A and B are shown apart, each in its own frame.
Chain A
Amino acid sequence: MRQSAKRASFLDDLIELLSSMRFAISLLTLLAIASIIGTVIEQNLPPNAYLNQFGQFWEQVFSRLSLYTVYNAGWFVAILAFLVLSTTLCVIRQFTPMLRDIRSFREQAREASLRGFSHRASLAPALPPEEQCAAASAYLKRAGFRFRVNEREGGTLIAAKQGGLGRVGYFLAHGAIVLICLGGLLDGNLPLSMQISLSGKKPVSGNMSIGDIPPSGRLAAGNWSFRGNIYIPEGQAANNAILNVDDGVLLQPLPFRVELKRFNIEYYETGMPKRYASDVVVTDNETGEAFERTLEVNKPFEHRGITLYQAGYDDGGSVLRFTAHGMTSAAHPPFPISGEVGAQIPLGKTGHSIEITGFRPFNVEDVSPPPGSGTNSQPETAMLGSGARAANGKNLRNLGPLYTYRLRDPAGQAREYNNYMQPVQISGHWYQISGVRSTPAGEISWLRIPLDEDNSVNTWFAIHQSFFDPARQAELVKRFTSSTADKDEKASLKTIADHLLGLFAQGGMAPINKFIETSVPKDKHEEAGEAFIQVLQRLIWDAWMMARESAGKAAMEPDETNAPFVRDAFFALTASQRYGAPLYLKLDSFEQRQATILQATRSPGKPLVYLGSLLLTLGVFAMLYIRERRLFVLLKQGEALVAMSSGRKSVGLEEIFARHREGLAAVLGAPHTT
């Protein structure tokens, strides 16, 4: 007996605690703090990113606490569960008393308690007693009160009230929170993790074609909650969505087939994207019915409870045709290569391979100097006039197609190359541009190959070959020394040229500078450096003339007009030492094929969440803006007692009471009270 009483009281205490306002406040605060963590630590990154950011120890600790997937973490869901529990208990506990309160008019209120109200007044009605009740009732009705009349010993009490909906608002708002949380749970990660653990599904990782995915990697067709992506190249179709789970993927069969006719991107003049649209045909598996639709951002399409969204785009295997220019010391004439985006092309015996990773035909870039060099607007342009001025200091230009590829060396190390198909004009001269970086997030360093008078890179590559191919190098040095007839001078020039070219081939200017530092007296450093550069430029000039000769072009005189080419060729030769590739791929032509990325979603919780949202809005407004007020008029012999109570104390209440007091005084024929 006592035991159970104790248990009952413990349970009561627990319920009391869980449904208390303080508990709710603590939970909400906790939820807010937990949410902050999830925004400070970027979520769902690959594990390596966290390792770099936090170091081994903390990476482990944070991983244990699921700080990389906070919003799916057990403890986070537990906070939400407690919130739902607390709110539910609170609503249940409040339900009966509030309902009673909403229904009740409190017409049994005693005179003594009315006289204790802080808003009360005693009127002396001139109206005959038998008309008083009707007059007061009529006033209350006009003023928007509902009321009940209680004839009692020694008088009549009219108990009136308004704003009872404020209480209903409480149930709406708090019930809505429960609905929204439950709906969110249905659309969250939980259904998927339950399927993985209960029906033994196993995400597959690595490269695998769709046909090879085992049944354990395929979710049921009737799966009622999922979110996956569909990748479809133009002219192809898909009937599966891919769900990314941990490091692998799961396949979600769809009850229809989506075929991509065409993917459209439109741009504004500034190069900003204006429209992404997929022209698709959705064919139902069962009925064979086909719908032709255009999916756009903000314009999804729903079929069989699955909603398709325009989520992204990619290259769908564009065919690119290149000319490869060799950049090694071994002479090699340019040769053609071609492949699709996504293809991997082995490079003969060298052990290198090329992976074509991307192609974008339209690239608007700001080609003005970087900020900080006078691009800030003049005060006047920022302060006066329309907001529609052309971008100040910005020089937007479409640089044309950009193609990217990775070059993997025999050791498996890859470098990424970003090349523009069309030449780019910089300070009046034309270049072919290629960027390289050795890590995906690293900074790109650019190789700017100067173009010759035919707008071709061939001249520079011929110079490049003369510099680094031993056979051509000998020829170059021979030409270099031909300027003098003196034998000794010839020999010393040859020594210098051979030495310099040797050093240059080891890594551009760096080895030359190092040589100067170690073998030239300190006060002669600058002088020697300039002399060496002059020799190098002379060598470039000779190499250029050799190239012209073999191309059947006339020789030129060194002068101002062709100095820039020599300078640019020199910079490009230096940069080519850091280029790290055995060849340069120049894009000659392409056939673009795009692919769309759609998102396919089935979210069973959505109706619940939307209903909850509607109720929440109604509830919040009702709670904040509908004030419950009770007005009591006790009609007695020679006196009318007016008293008012309100759910919450607020500043305007006194004024409202005064107005009703005056109103009642007027209809009852009582003298003005103030």
Chain B
Amino acid sequence: MEAATSSPPLPQPPAVHASRFRQIRATDWLFAIAVIAGAGFAWSRYGHSMDGYDIAIFLFHVPLLIALGWAWRPFRPFAAVVAALALAGFWLYQGDLTRADQVFFLKYLLSSQTAISWMSALFFTATGAYWLGFIARASFAERTGNAMTWCAAVMGTAGLFVRWYESYLVGPDIGHIPISNLYEVFVFFSLITALLYLFYERRYNTRKLGIFVMPVISAAVIFLLWYSFTRNAYQIQPLVPALQSYWMKIHVPANFIGYGGFSIAAMVGVAYLLVSRGILAARLPKAEVLEDVMYRAIAIGFAFFTIATILGALWAAEAWGSYWSWDPKETWALIVWINYAVWLHMRLTRNLRGNMLAWWAVVGLFVTTFAFVGVNMFLSGLHSYGSL
């Protein structure tokens, strides 16, 4: 018997597909129970101070976390370590902000600024490790890069949670989710992009793309550091009335899954262009694999960006009285959306595939970056939170 296939053998991803729910193992249940127990604990402590929207978002997160853990096994230790570190941070604070400078573990590990600094350092190290691994053909260095990226994501996520807690210590009326200004969303962007990349790295079983994706994250971190040194941007600021809305909790994260996906796609596009010209072709994944990664990154980015833009419209309708007012940020969100809608259409059109598609994804990064930071820098409008 022979399996008649014409396509070349591809790196085999682990079997995770339609039948996944039939392979639930004991550890899966354990994870689910841990999530539910954690949620129950949170509910017993803070349930009384949640309003209807908080409860809805809270309940939505339980199945979401379980599904993530089931679909992506490394997410479980990640979630566990982040939870442990964040809780340790809360506990060490004991409700007193000044302890950030007195308690050793807070000052040098867990207070939000420190944790985010660790994240920055680890992202740089990871970038270096991936490049070293690529240049020296050392898979050990690549594995180190992978581990460093995970550690960076852990520190960054824990740091954001601690920052969230700190904001309530500043004042109960000031406390808010740390995705409200440019500094906080840059941390968030680095995290989401790193996690998405780690997902694809495992899914496609290749560590070669780190040399392309990690520089984008490093660039974001460099911007972050510049921004916090020169503009004191790291200070927790209270929310202006327009931002005091439960929509923020879902609009902003959805947006950054979009931005993260698009950045990864652009960098994979660079790899594709190199491979299609025969540069490093032997060392990088095959062009059709790269095309597939690019497609999946754009697909997830586009789907979430669509949601984010719609949520933004719903929010705008409530805050500004109109779901669409052609404000520069809104308009640029539309431009980004159109850009990737075009990409998805081009993919289905003969003659426009291949290099053209890769170029379009690369250019898309510039469009996305402009929508992300450029609008705040150069244009004014309603959406000018965290201006430069």
A binds B: yes
Given A21-B348, A274-B241, also A32-B112 (CB < 8 A)? no
Using CB atoms, name the residue of chain B closest to A627: B18
B289 interfacial contact with A, CB 8 Å: yes
Given contacts A22-B349, A297-B241, A652-B17, contact A119 B5 (CB under 8 A): yes
**A97 cross-chain contacts in B, Cβ below 8 A:** none
Question: In chain B between 111 and 163, which residues have their CB closer than 8 angstroms to a CB of chain A?
Answer: 111-114, 117, 163
**If the complex has contacts A24-B345, A387-B112, are A297 and B232 also in contact, measured as CB distance less than 8 A?**
no
Which of B167, B228, B230, B346 lies in contact with A388, CB distance below 8 A?
B167
**Taking chain B's interface residues, is the majority helix, strand, or loop, or is none over half, making it mixed?**
helix
Asked if B97 CB lies within 8 Å of chain A CBs, one says: yes
Q: By the criterion CB–CB under 8 Å, are A655 and B13 in contact?
A: yes
Measured between alpha carbons, how far is A36 from B173 in the docked complex, in Å? Answer: 39
Known contacts A620-B303, A620-B306: A384-B1 contact under CB 8 Å: no
Chain A residue contacts of B300, Cβ below 8 A? 624
Kindly state whether residue A47 has any CB partner on chain B within 8 Å.
no
A57 in the interface (beta carbon within 8 A) = no
Asked if A25 and B241 sit within 8 Å, CB to CB, the answer is: no
Interface residues on chain A, number (Cβ under 8 Å):
85
Chain A residues with CB under 8 Å of B318's CB are 298-300
A103 part of interface (Cβ distance < 8 Å): no
B331 at the interface (CB under 8 A from A): yes
Question: Is there a chain A Cβ closer than 8 Å to B359's Cβ?
Answer: no
Q: Is B19 an interface residue (CB 8 A)?
A: yes
Q: Pick the contact of B241 from A35, A276, A383, A393 — CB < 8 Å?
A: A276
Q: Give per-residue flags for B208-230: 1 if the beta carbon is below 8 A from chain A beta carbons, else 0.
A: 00000000000000000100111
B1 engages A123 (CB within 8 Å): yes
- Contact status of A655 and B342, CB under 8 A, knowing A184-B324, A377-B229: no
* Interface-located stretch among A7-15, A556-564, A598-606: A598-606
Interface 1/0s, chain B 8-23, versus A by CB < 8 A? 0010110101110000
With contact pairs A22-B349, A25-B342, A651-B288 given, residues A376 and B230 touching in the complex (Cβ less than 8 Å): yes
Q: Which of B277-322 contact A (CB under 8 A)?
A: 288-289, 292, 295, 299-300, 302-303, 306-307, 310, 313-314, 317-322
Stretch at the interface among B31-39, B79-87, B100-108: B100-108
| A386 with B97: CB separation less than 8 A | yes
Inter-chain contacts of B17 with A (CB < 8 A)? 652, 655-656, 659
Residue of B3, B19, B244, B317 near A658 (CB, 8 A) is: B3
B379, A39: Cβ atoms under 8 Å?
yes
Q: Does B253 lie at the interface of the complex (its beta carbon under 8 Å from any beta carbon of A)?
A: no
Q: Is the CB of A297 within 8 A of B242?
A: yes
CA–CA, A14 and B303, complex, Å:
32
Using known A-B contacts A144-B18, A272-B238, determine if residue A39 contacts B328 with beta carbons closer than 8 Å.
yes
Cα–Cα, bound, A39→B349 (Å): 30
Which of these, B169, B245, B295, B349, contacts A21 with CB under 8 Å? Answer: B349
Cβ-defined contact, B4 with A274, below 8 A: no
Q: A69 to nearest B CB, angstroms?
A: 10
Find A121's partner among B1, B292, B313 (CB 8 Å cutoff): B1
Q: Which residues of chain A are within 8 angstroms of B320 by Cβ–Cβ distance? A: 309, 311
B241–A382 touching, CB < 8 Å: no
Which residues does chain A contribute within 8 Å of B317, judged by CB atoms?
606
Q: Complex formed: what's the CA distance from A603 to B325 in Å? A: 13
Within the assembled complex, what's the spacing in Å between the Cα atoms of A24 and B344? 12
The answer to whether B94 has its CB under 8 Å from any CB of chain A is no
- Cross-interface CB contact of A382 among B18, B229, B303, B331, cutoff 8 Å: B229
Q: Which residues of A contact B163 (CB under 8 A)?
A: 386-387
Stretch from A425-433, A491-499, A609-617 at the B interface = A609-617
The distance in angstroms between the C-alpha atoms of A295 and B215, with both chains bound, is 47
Binds A, one of B58-66, B265-273, B332-340: B332-340
How many residue pairs bridge A and B at CB < 8 Å? 217
Which residue of B169, B237, B241, B348 is within 8 Å of A270 (Cβ)?
A: B237
Q: Are B338 and A32 in contact (CB under 8 A)?
A: yes
A309 and B332: CB pair below 8 A?
no
Within 8 A of B (CB), among A374-398: 375-377, 379, 382-389, 391-394
Within 8 A of B (CB), among A256-283: 268, 270, 272-276
In the complex, the chain A residue whose C-beta lies closest to that of B170 is A388
Top 3 A-B residue pairs of the complex, sorted by shortest distance between their CB atoms: A309-B321, A386-B100, A297-B241
Known: A387-B163, A610-B314. 9 other contacts (CB 8 A): A21-B345, A28-B341, A118-B4, A118-B6, A382-B229, A391-B232, A625-B303, A652-B13, A658-B3
B residues apposed to A, CB below 8 Å: 1-7, 10, 12-13, 15, 17-19, 97, 100-101, 106-108, 111-114, 117, 163, 166-167, 169-170, 173-174, 178, 225, 228-230, 232, 234-238, 240-242, 244-245, 288-289, 292, 295, 299-300, 302-303, 306-307, 310, 313-314, 317-324, 326, 328, 331-332, 334-335, 338-339, 341-342, 345-346, 348-349, 352, 375, 379-380
Name A residues whose Cβ lies closer than 8 Å to a Cβ of B: 21-22, 24-25, 28-29, 31-32, 35-36, 38-40, 42-43, 71, 118-124, 143-144, 184, 187, 227, 268, 270, 272-276, 296-300, 307, 309, 311, 375-377, 379, 382-389, 391-394, 599, 601, 603, 606, 609-610, 613, 616-617, 620-621, 624-625, 650-652, 654-656, 658-659, 661, 670-671, 673-674
Sample (15) of A-B pairs whose CB atoms are under 8 Å apart: A21-B345, A29-B338, A31-B338, A144-B18, A272-B240, A298-B244, A376-B229, A382-B228, A386-B100, A388-B169, A650-B292, A651-B10, A652-B13, A659-B19, A671-B1
